[in-house]
Chain A
Amino acid sequence: MSIVTRRSAITGFGIALATPPLAIPALAQSGDVFRIGLILPMTGPFASTGRQIEAAIRAWLRANPAPIAGKRIEILLRDDTGVAPDVTRRLAQELAVRERVQALAGFGLTPLALAAAPIATEAKLPMIVMAAATAIIPSRSPFILRTAFSLPQATAPIAVWAQRAGIRTAVTLVTDFAPGLDAERAFKERFTAAGGSVTAELRTPLRNPDYAPFLQRVRDARPDALFIFVPSGEGAPLMRQFAERGLREAGIRLIGTGDVLDDDILNDIGDSALGAVTSHHYSAAHDSAENRAFLAAYAAQAPGQRPNFMAVGGWDGMHLLAEGLRRTQGNTDGERLVAAMAGQEWISPRGPVRIDAQSRDIVQDIYIRRTERRDGQLWNIEFDRVERVGPMG
């Protein structure tokens, strides 16, 4: 058996090594192209994040077709499946070394962004974090800038608002993983500092959670409000059970961060979401000329879909890169680009934002919104806001 085995093995091995990779990109090394390596989860459990950001970036390119500082922008999209940080890292490495991109962007979840950070440092490439939200991310490389948000930033305002709205006791219910614990910590800190008390801290498992027993415990504890943070897809079952178990009738208010009532899935959650109060940096219902332009551009790219906070992170990331490129007059040196982008201020579809010059993290207004029905659809209607919230809340 062995001779045939070996020979055939050798043939196969030789072919596999000799075949050039299928997709050889047209290597445009001329100086008139600015290449951005975009790494997003396009498949797997977090595919909606990737879909939203990619659509927003394509929409931005459609709305801004003119070359920036003499350079045409080119996007190289890669899928890291959302759950494999070593793949994210390898893709970043390949984009830097083989495709010679001049910037990295995307990064759907915290572990993925952290895995790629050393590559950005070593290759001296600006790295725009458009989605991942754990507070520490920008400190991991001097080349990271963030156009998303951070969890303490989105959480602190709801705690302060709850206190003002007469909520004295609260129970927290979060998913048991890093961002959930971040949210729990930030909420508790702010809420107790303002004089409220957290009577119970519940954590649900990340996989196949059953909310019924947890909600029953909440009902028995009878707090003024229930604070929730779950991954965006989990919002629907949680909201439904909250309504079915009669917690609202028991006088318990539902508060949380906006991820739960993400615009992408809000209409699918349905009426059980009505009346929930959340804090976040973006709502598709935000009333401004910039947001209307964004919605129109997004609708042209992805008809029938509503952009969410992920999409706005992608849109602003493109704006930031373009603005940096303009300021360096087309110079793509990584350090100069980062220096040009840090400290930028502009009016985003979400409202006024600034990239802090020191931390390279985003400073933005956080809105308090209530879920309401308007024109047959559900929207998060902003009714209060906290101005210029820093990344630590």
Chain B
Amino acid sequence: MILLHAIPWAGALAGYWLFPEQLPLLSAIAIAALFAVSLDLIVGYAGLVTLGQAAFFGAGAYTAGILAQQGWGEPFSGLLAAAAVAALLGLISAPLVLRAGELAGLMVTLGLGLMLYEAANKAAAITGGADGLQGVEMWPIFGLYRFDLWGRTAYLYSLAVLFVLFMLARLLVASPFGWSLRAIRGNARRAPALGVPVKARLTAAYVIAAAYAGVAGGLLAQTTSFASLDALSFQRSADGLLMLVLGGLGSLYGALLGAVAFTVAHHALSEASPVFWQFWLGIALVALALAGQGGLLGLARAAIARLRRR
């Protein structure tokens, strides 16, 4: 059992030695994976679709970035601050989203994302506006490991954070809390009859997912020493949902797999064909959506089931 869990993480760690020249990409994958996990918690488990998760990602990115810019470059406390700010934002916006109901709630998340984007654009004195946040200086991790050009520190740091938070998420979804979320997803009207306080549970899930997204954003700002409006963009929310659907909704390893597959495909296609890559990416996504429900994980599961039958 433990061995099965160890394999993907050992693989991810081995990437450090296998692809020493690809570490910036691997860091980007780890950050995307954490973002996908955050979306999975709220969309996959709680069944609450959102188009504004980037708001929390961006809030985390700007929090960590501005802290470091103002002279506090300690990475771990920066991440904690990013998580706290994003969670607070989640706590404030959760009642709005939950109050509105399904489709209208979706619009609320979209609206909140756009609002925050425009606010960051306007507050150029704090965020740097469209030029992005300049002068982010990170301190070495534990005072020892500098963020280097090769991205070694950045990758190990991102991977470690992803690992810890992923395991925490596993505990969370396996707990009674996690099962109550699935009950709400299954039938939100019946859940109260089972003694599940729907609104409180959804709020909690929303806030936790926001904190996760905030940490992912903080990681991006810290490992690239930069934060920009793009962190808040709708595109990022959409990409996160794509990763999730690609990998398989409602399973944490699906979120990881989706993030890996999406980012690698994105990177390889755009490198091989800088002008038309979005076309090929689109074809791949449509094909996958038609080929199987449950994303890559669903496909793999079906393939294994077929092999077993033989």
Contact = CB atoms under 8 A, between A and B. Distances in A.
A194 B25 CA distance: 52
B288 interface: no
Interface string A1-33: 001111111111110111101110000000000
A177 B131 CA distance: 9
A43 B274 CA distance: 8
Contacts of A119: 149
A7 B304 contact: yes
B175 interface: no
A94 B7 CA distance: 27
A98 B21 CA distance: 5
B4 A7 contact: yes
Given A7-B304, A8-B300, A94-B25, A42 B275 contact: yes
A96 to B, nearest CB: 7
A111 interface: yes
B197 interface: no
Which of A8, A11, A89, A94 has most B Cβ within 10 Å? A8
B149 A90 contact: no
A57 interface: no
B134 interface: yes
Interface in A228-272: none
A84 B230 contact: yes
A297 B148 CA distance: 42
Given A6-B5, A86-B228, A115-B132, A43 B149 contact: no
B251 interface: yes
Given A17-B18, A86-B226, A178-B130, A5 B251 contact: yes
Interface stretch (A75-83, A343-351, A376-384): A75-83
Contact of A23 (B23, B150, B260, B271): B271
Which of B131, B253, B264, B278 has most A Cβ within 10 Å? B131
Nearest to A178: B130
A85 B268 contact: no
A97 B21 contact: yes
A5 B250 CA distance: 11
A122 interface: yes
Nearest to A140: B134
B270 A86 contact: no
Contacts of A110: 130-131
B253 to A, nearest CB: 3
Interface string A283-312: 000000000000000000000000000000
B267 interface: yes
A38 to B, nearest CB: 9
Nearest to A121: B149
Contacts of B7: 10, 13-14
A118 interface: yes
A14 B11 contact: yes
Contacts of A177: 121, 129-130
Range of interface residues on chain A?
35 or more
Contacts of B305: 4
B53 interface: no
B271 A22 contact: yes
Contacts of A9: 8, 251, 253-254, 256-257, 297, 300
Given A10-B8, A111-B132, A177-B130, A90 B24 contact: yes
Given A11-B300, A78-B271, A5 B253 contact: yes
Interface in A134-156: 134, 140
A6 B21 contact: no
Interface string B219-254: 010001110111101010000000000000001011
B277 interface: yes
A328 interface: no
Nearest to A51: B275
7 contacts: A8-B303, A13-B253, A16-B257, A16-B264, A21-B268, A94-B24, A178-B124
Given A5-B251, A7-B4, A89-B226, 15 more contacts: A5-B254, A8-B303, A9-B8, A12-B261, A13-B12, A14-B8, A43-B275, A79-B275, A85-B228, A86-B226, A94-B21, A94-B25, A97-B149, A110-B131, A115-B228
Interface of A: 3-14, 16-19, 21-23, 40, 42-43, 77-79, 83-86, 89-90, 93-94, 96-98, 110-111, 114-115, 118-119, 122-123, 134, 140, 177-178
Interface of B: 4-5, 7-8, 11-12, 14-15, 18, 21-25, 28, 121, 124, 129-132, 134, 149-151, 220, 224-226, 228-231, 233, 235, 251, 253-254, 256-257, 260-261, 264, 267-272, 274-275, 277-278, 296-297, 300-301, 303-305
